[in-house]
Amino acid sequence: MRIVVDFLDGLTEYFGRMISWLALFMVLMSFTTVVLRYVYGISNVAMIETIVYAFAILLAGSAGWTLLHNEHVRVDIFYGAMSERNKALVDLFGAVFFMFPVLFIIWSKGLPYVSRSWKLRETSNEVAGLDYLYLLKTFILVFAVVLAVQGVSFVLRKVHILIHGTPMQTKFGPQREQA
């Protein structure tokens, strides 16, 4: 089980680190856009859309990485006081009955939506906008895949806790950072 978790976590870690560079790209593009607009009076719709695309790709592509490092949003009213096994049960329940069904819906509804966009080679509604809206929409499916991949690892970690009573020691994830 640990080999599978390490493999899935490794994929997520690599993809998350790779896609995180978009944050720097967004900052540089935003700075450039502001300088061009307010210093030179030049406005470029394609540059602004590039920033929006980068933000959407960063958000969608880093979902699994966020789950891997336990940085996802959690309403922590009772959870913090629970034992490791009870936390694992809550997490397992949430993943199986909420996360995976929602990801299935996103995938099944998103696939025809994205396919239609690719068939049309959909472009921006803006006159000077980008011609690659279909590529951006593809990240709806990428979101579902990266979160599902990390979700499998997440579930395996929780099953390990239920069986052994302690968290699995792996190469990636929150346990590595605490050690």
Q: Which two tokens stand for residue 97?
A: 């009955």
Q: Which two tokens stand for residue 149?
A: 């991949």
DSSP-derived letter for residue 73 is -
- Cβ atoms 114, 137 nearer than 8 A: yes
- Is 177 part of a structural domain of the chain? no
For 106, the domain range is: 2-171
Of 143, 136, 134, nearest in space to 107 by CA: 143
In the block, which residue shows the tokens 């996103």? Answer: 106
- Is 154 part of a structural domain of the chain? yes
Of 130, 5, 139, 147, nearest in space to 63 by CA: 147
Question: Residue 80: its pLDDT value, please?
Answer: 83
- Is 178 part of a structural domain of the chain? no
Question: How far is residue 171's CA from residue 22's CA, in Å, rounded to a whole number?
Answer: 25
Looking at the 3D structure of the chain, how many domains does it have?
Answer: 1
How many angstroms from the chain centroid is the CA of residue 58?
A: 7
- Is 115 part of a structural domain of the chain? yes
- Is 42 part of a structural domain of the chain? yes
- CB half-sphere exposure, 170, CA atoms < 13 A: 25
- Is 176 part of a structural domain of the chain? no
Sequential pLDDT tens for the chain (179 residues): 889 999 999 999 999 999 999 999 999 999 999 999 999 999 999 999 999 999 999 999 999 999 999 888 777 788 888 899 999 999 999 999 999 999 999 999 999 999 999 999 999 999 888 999 999 999 999 999 999 999 999 999 999 999 999 998 888 876 544 43
- CB half-sphere exposure, 67, CA atoms < 13 A: 29
Q: Is 121 helix (H, G, I), strand (E, B) or coil?
A: coil
Alpha-carbon separation of residue 83 from 80, 87, 88, 146, 167 (angstroms): 8, 6, 9, 29, 12
Q: Is 41 left (phi over 0), alpha (psi -120 to 50) or beta?
A: left
- Is 145 part of a structural domain of the chain? yes
Question: Residue 177: its pLDDT value, please?
Answer: 43
Question: Residue 175: its pLDDT value, please?
Answer: 57
- Is 179 part of a structural domain of the chain? no
Q: Which two tokens stand for residue 177?
A: 């950072």
